Structure 1
Amino acid sequence: MARVTVEDCVLKIPNRFELVMVSAQRARNISAGAPMTVEKDNDKNPVVALREIAEETVDLDDLKEGLIKGLQRHVEMTDPDDEEFDLLAFPQGQPGGDGEEGEANDAIALKSNMYQDIEIAEPAGDKA
């Protein structure tokens, strides 16, 4: 990679880290079949990408947008609110009443029975 090419690119993108990311994205685009805007001149794709950036033949905003989309792995989901969770846990129409008062009674009954102690009968053959 020619030092002159990198130094020319730093004038267009002052942050070297951003320059690396954007030029790598452009090199990936070229490898994927995107048309080159400068002559290849027997150079490899990263060098061609740097030459394109230095000569301003590619739109940097489009490259940055493609880079961001490529780095996104998932869309952040919001956690369900406590109220929504309660509605999911206790669907309407179950025994215990109708409306919010019935749902509240069901929730109280469920919580009170959740950790209830029970006696376990001994098996018939284990008497000492």
Structure 2
Amino acid sequence: MARVTVEDCIDKVQNRFDLVLIAAGRARQIAAGAELTVPEDRDKNSVIALREIAEETIAADTLRDNVIQTMQRHVEVDEPEEDDMEAQMVSHQFADNIDESEVLVADPAPLGEMPGDDSADDGDAA
């Protein structure tokens, strides 16, 4: 049964090496409890995986992508790194501090004196 199944699968997959990786990955999925797309017929997981590939009940490209994903050690994520996050937080705090200092520099009036308050000038004139 397996030899015939392998011969049927060669038409669906580029080469035998890819077939081995894809079928082994699917057999692991079946062992982990994935749903079967062909009848079990008391076959082992590897034979079931080959039958699924031969009968095209599951896409070989999808299985190939799953195998590649499981073998990757480093997966790039588009999230900013912690150093970038810290730098952004510091820059936001720095910007907030600059805004406060600009207000103080722009308004040099003493704390007791309010702009437009003429009451201090009236006391000197009398």
Name the TM-score, length of structure 2 as normaliser: 0.57
Per the alignment, residue 68 of structure 1 pairs with 68
Which amino acid letter does the alignment assign opposite residue 67 of structure 1? Answer: V
Deviations 1:18-57 (CA, angstroms, capped at 9, x unpaired): 0000001110111111100001100000000000000000
* Higher helix residue share: 2
1:11-30 correspondence runs (5 A): 11-30=11-30
Give the number of equivalent residue pairs. 76
* 4+ long deviations beyond 2 Å: none
Higher radius of gyration, 1 or 2: 2
Equivalent residue letter for 2:9: C
Point out where structure 2 has 5 or more consecutive residues left out of the alignment: 77-126
2:48 aligns to what? 48
C-alpha separation between the residues in 1 aligned to 2:36 and 2:75?
32
For 2:13, the aligned partner's letter is I
Q: Which structure would you say has the larger RCO, counting Cα contacts within 8 Å and 6 or more residues apart?
A: 2
CA RMSD of aligned residues (A): 1.4
Whole-Å Cα distance in 2 between the matches of residues 60 and 11 of structure 1?
11
| 3-state DSSP of counterpart to 2:35 | coil
Offset of residue 59 of structure 1: 1.5
SS in 2 for 1:57: coil
Give structure 1 stretches of 5+ with no counterpart.
77-128
SS in 1 for 2:34: coil
Q: Deviations over 1:51-89 (max 9, x none)?
A: 00000000112111111110001247xxxxxxxxxxxxx
- Judge which range, 59-68 or 17-26, deviates more: 59-68
Report the TM-score when normalising by structure 1.
0.56
